C-alpha cells in the first residue's frame, strides 16, 4: 500500500515540474503589499521571439530573444518571468538591449487551464498556478522597439516509461497586444548524451527527430504548448565494484572501462590472488529512469585484457561467471522477488562472446561474480574488457 501512495506522489510532482518549466515574459501590475498580478497590455506587442534550447547530459539550457514594440504612448512596464516558489529555474539572466538587468522575486498568482494530450497517456485538463515572478522594469518611448533576452537552465522531467521531457508555455505571451508575428524554435543537440534517442523523439505528440529541429510560426495566437519527449536508450550502468587494480603511469583499470566501447581498456580486479569472488554490479540508467525495470535478452562479453594478444595472454581471464539479476523499483508493486542466478562458462578468447537467456529476464540490477579463471602467463590479475547488455527498447 505504501508503494501505491509513493507512485501517486511522484506523478503529481512530475506533472507540476513539467508545467512550471519555463514560459514567455508577461506584463505585470503591482498590487498593494508588494505582490504582482499578470494583466493585459494593449499597447506593447511581443512581435517576435527566437527560442534556442540546448540539450546537455543532466539539464537543458534555454535562450529566448524577444522583440517588443510599443504601439502606444511613452510608458514604463513591469515585466515578469513566470516561476514558482517550489521550483526555481537555474542561472536566470535577463538582458535589455544587451545590458544585464537585476530582477526582484515577487509573489503573484495566475491561474490558467492547461489542456494537453502530451503529458500522460490520457488527455488531461488541469488548472495550473504560477505563484512567483522574477520582475524587472522596461521603459518605452512612443513607437520604440526593445530587445530582451532571457537565458536559464532547467532540469529534465523523467517519465516512468524511460523518457525525458521539456516544455515551453506560450500562454503568458497572450497578455501582450495582438498576435506574435513570428516565432523561431530551435533545439541544439551537439552536447546531448548518446543515450538520448533523438531520432525518434516527439514534439507535441507527433514523432519528430530532434537531431536538426527547427520549427517556425507566423501570426500566432500564443496559446500553444511546446512539449518535447525523447526516449532514453535503456541500458545498465556500472554501479559498484568490489575491487580495482591500482593505476600505473599509462593505464587505469576502473570498472567504467567495461562500458566504454573500447577493448583496449579493461576492468582489472585488485585483490592479491586471481580475483575469484570479485564482483561488478550494474543498475539501470536511473538518472533518467528512476529504477525502471528493463527486459534483458542477452549479454555480450569481451573477456580478458583484449588490448593485444600478448596482453591478453599475460593477464588472467574469466572462465566461469555467476550472474545475478534482481528487481527493485520505485514503481514496482511486487515485494520480495528473489534474484535470478545464472552461471556461464566463457571461452578463452579475446573475441566477443554472447550469452542469450532462454527467455528475456526482467531486472533493475545485474551483478557479475568471477567464479573461475584462466591463469595468465605473467599476472594473476583477472580482467574483463567489455560488457554489453542487449535490452528491449520498446
Q: Residues near 33 by Cβ (< 8 Å), separated by ≥ 6?
A: none
What pLDDT was estimated at residue 111?
74
CA distances from 40 to 114, 127, 141, 176, 220 (A): 19, 20, 19, 6, 17
Q: In this predicted structure, which of 112-116, 163-167, 214-218, 383-387 has the lowest mean pLDDT?
A: 112-116
* Cα dihedral value 67, 59, 215, 16, nearest 10: -80
* Range with the poorest average pLDDT among 62-71, 124-133, 158-167, 355-364: 124-133
Spell 265-278 as b/e; 16+ CB within 10 A means b.
Answer: bbbbbebeebbbeb
The whole-angstrom separation of Cα 29 and Cα 78 is 7
Cell numbers linked to 220? 500566432
Write down the CATH superfamily of domain 236-391. Answer: Galactose-binding domain-like (2.60.120.260)
Q: Which residues have CB under 8 Å from 213's CB, separation 6+?
A: 185, 186, 187, 189, 203
Average pLDDT score over residue span 346-359: 96
Domains of the chain, by residue range, sit at 18-232, 236-391
% of the chain beyond a pLDDT of 70: 85
pLDDT 10s digits, 184-224: 999 999 999 888 989 989 998 889 999 999 999 999 988 76
- Whole-angstrom Cα distance, residue 372 to residue 36? 70
The HSE-up count of residue 264 (CA atoms within 13 Å, CB side) is: 2
As a whole number, mean pLDDT of residues 313-321 equals 98
State the pLDDT at residue 14: 37
Q: Is the dihedral of CA 9, 335, 362, 322 positive or negative?
A: positive
Closest of 282, 287, 281, 292 to residue 329, by C-alpha: 292
Secondary structure of the chain in HEC code, one letter for each residue: CHHHHHHHHHHHHHHHHHHCCCECCEEEEECCCCCEEECCCCCEEEEEEEEEEEECCCEEEEEEEEEEEECCCCEEEEEEEEECCCCCCEEEEEEECCEEECCEEEEEEEEEEEEECCCCCCCEEEEEEEEEEEEEEEEECCCCEEEEEEEEEEECEECCCCEEEEEEECHHHHHCCCCEEEEEEEEECCCCCCCEEEEEEEECCEEECCCCEEEEEEEECCCCEEEEEEEECCCEEEEEECCCCCCCCCCCCCHHHHHCCCCCCCEECCCCCCCCCCEEEEEECHHHHCCCCEEEEEEEEEEECCCCHHHHHHCEEEEEEEEEEECCCCCCCCCCCCCEEEEEECCCCCCEEEEEEEEEEEECEEEEEEEEEECCCCCCCEEEEEEEEEECCC
Q: What is the pLDDT of residue 114?
A: 57
Three-point CA angle 116, 117, 121, nearest 5°? 135
pLDDT in tens, 225-258: 788 989 888 889 999 999 999 999 889 999 999 9
Does residue 385 contact residue 266 with C-beta atoms inside 8 Å?
yes
- 155-190 tens-digit pLDDT: 887 776 778 888 888 888 999 999 999 999 999 999
pLDDT band at 292 (very low <50, low <70, confident <90, very high): confident
Mean pLDDT of 334-355: 88
Which of the pair, 386 or 250, is modelled with greater confidence?
Answer: 386
**18-232 maps to CATH 3.40.1390.10:** no
pLDDT of residue 19: 44
Residue 332 has a pLDDT of: 45
Which among 219, 351, 234, 338 is positioned nearest to 286, based on CA atoms? Answer: 234
> Mean of the pLDDT values across residues 373-394?
95
Does the pLDDT value for residue 290 go beyond 70?
Answer: no
Query: Tell me, what's the pLDDT at 124?
Result: 45
Q: What's the pLDDT score for residue 64? A: 97
Cell of 166: 521539456
pLDDT of 3 above 60: no
pLDDT at position 128 is 65
Tell me what the pLDDT averaged over the chain comes to.
86
Residues whose CB is less than 8 angstroms from the CB of residue 214 and which lie 6 or more positions away in sequence, other chains included: 184, 185, 186
Q: State yes or no: pLDDT of 287 exceeds 70.
A: no
Cell numbers for 21: 518549466
For residue 115, is pLDDT > 60?
Answer: no
Amino acid at each position: 500500500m505504501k508503494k501505491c501512495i509513493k507512485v501517486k506522489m511522484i506523478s503529481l510532482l512530475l506533472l507540476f515540474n513539467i508545467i512550471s518549466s519555463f514560459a514567455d515574459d508577461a506584463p505585470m501590475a503591482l498590487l498593494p503589499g508588494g505582490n504582482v498580478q499578470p494583466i493585459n497590455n494593449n499597447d506593447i506587442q511581443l512581435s517576435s521571439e527566437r527560442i534556442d534550447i540546448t540539450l546537455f547530459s543532466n539539464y537543458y539550457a534555454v535562450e529566448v530573444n524577444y522583440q517588443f514594440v510599443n504601439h502606444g504612448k511613452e510608458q514604463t512596464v513591469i515585466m515578469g518571468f513566470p516561476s514558482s516558489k517550489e521550483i526555481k529555474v537555474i542561472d536566470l539572466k535577463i538582458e535589455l538591449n544587451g545590458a544585464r538587468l537585476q530582477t526582484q522575486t515577487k509573489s503573484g498568482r495566475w491561474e490558467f487551464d492547461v489542456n494537453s494530450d502530451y503529458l500522460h497517456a490520457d488527455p488531461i485538463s488541469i488548472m495550473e498556478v504560477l505563484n512567483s515572478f522574477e520582475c524587472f522594469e522596461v521603459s518605452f518611448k512612443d513607437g520604440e522597439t526593445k530587445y530582451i533576452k532571457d537565458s536559464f537552465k532547467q532540469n529534465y522531467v523523467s517519465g516512468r516509461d524511460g523518457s525525458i521531457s521539456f516544455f515551453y508555455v506560450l500562454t503568458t505571451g497572450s497578455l501582450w497586444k495582438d498576435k506574435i508575428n513570428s516565432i523561431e524554435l530551435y533545439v541544439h543537440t551537439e552536447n546531448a548524451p548518446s543515450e538520448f534517442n533523438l531520432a525518434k523523439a516527439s514534439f507535441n505528440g507527433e514523432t519528430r527527430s530532434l537531431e536538426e529541429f527547427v520549427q517556425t510560426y507566423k501570426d500566432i495566437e500564443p496559446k500553444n504548448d511546446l512539449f518535447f519527449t525523447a526516449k532514453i536508450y535503456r541500458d545498465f550502468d556500472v554501479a559498484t565494484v568490489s575491487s580495482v587494480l591500482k593505476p600505473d603511469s599509462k593505464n587505469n583499470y576502473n570498472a567504467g572501462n567495461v562500458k566504454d566501447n573500447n577493448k583496449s581498456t579493461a576492468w582489472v580486479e585488485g585483490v592479491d590472488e586471481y580475483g575469484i569472488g570479485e564482483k561488478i554490479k550494474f543498475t539501470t540508467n536511473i538518472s533518467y529512469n528512476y529504477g525502471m525495470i528493463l527486459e534483458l535478452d542477452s549479454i555480450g562479453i569481451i573477456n580478458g585484457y583484449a588490448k593485444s594478444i600478448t596482453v591478453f595472454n599475460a593477464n588472467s581471464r574469466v572462465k566461469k561467471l555467476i550472474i545475478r539479476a534482481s528487481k527493485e523499483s520505485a514503481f514496482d508493486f511486487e515485494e520480495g522477488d528473489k534474484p535470478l542466478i545464472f552461471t556461464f562458462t566463457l571461452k578463452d578468447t579475446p573475441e566477443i562472446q554472447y550469452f542469450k537467456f532462454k527467455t528475456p529476464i526482467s531486472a533493475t540490477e545485474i551483478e557479475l561474480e568471477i567464479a573461475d579463471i584462466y591463469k595468465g602467463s605473467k599476472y594473476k590479475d583477472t580482467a574483463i574488457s567489455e560488457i554489453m547488455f542487449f535490452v528491449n527498447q520498446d
